[in-house]
Amino acid sequence: MSPLLPRIVPSPEGKPLPQDDTAAAFRTFARDLAAGRRSWTTETAGFLSGLFDQLAGSWDSDLATGRDDPLHDALTRGGCFPLGTCLELGSGTGLFTPTLEAAFGTVISIDLSELMLRHAAGRSPLRVRADASALPSADASVSVVAAIDMLLFPQELARVLAPDGVLLWINQLGQDGPLYLSSEEVAAALPGQWTSVEAAAGWGSWAALRRIR
């Protein structure tokens, strides 16, 4: 069992719940992809890239939750983090990049959407358009992977993380989020054995996962 820390950041009113049927379909896709029951294809990547290109212009004003409670709580109570590069996956318009930079120094923002990355120009100094299923990083070269509302590509994350690296798995809306995976599902999908510490914070939840072997 993962250590579940007590909640210290309350959940405010006005949680922006996504449309039920759409969120459920995305959650099913995310679970099947993580568990290897569904393949990631160039067609799927192209569809999602185009979708988020369309959303980029209005993301900050209309679609972003505007709350970073889970990330701040994870950085405060998620344990000791190793020194080195942080890879921010699904970085979008860079809303969380400054917080990650304050904690880790060097942050490389990765996103599939070119337009999302263009809108992140003022927040994310190091931006790379890439598919998270094939990251442009050497084996065991990354100290922290921050995945905020992101699809899970377990083999690739395990490949790029250093032996003492940490995966920060953040769900901004918790179980209501369209890409929600529990820490148990994430740990089960990752190759090898992993331990985690987790908590609910604000509208969402977080888990910091570390490899045992």
pLDDT score of 203:
93
Q: How many other C-beta atoms are found inside a 10 Å radius of the C-beta of residue 71? A: 24
pLDDT score of 189:
97
Of the candidate CATH numbers 3.40.50.2300, 3.10.180.10, 3.40.50.2020, 3.40.50.150, the domain formed by 20-211 belongs to 3.40.50.150
- Going from N- to C-terminal start, the domains of the chain cover 20-211
pLDDT score of 142:
97
pLDDT score of 98:
95
Separation of alpha carbons 107 and 100, rounded Å: 7
> Position of tokens 């690296």?
165
pLDDT score of 2:
67
pLDDT score of 17:
86
Q: Which residues of the chain have pLDDT under 70?
A: 1-2, 63-64, 66
pLDDT score of 8:
97
pLDDT score of 1:
53
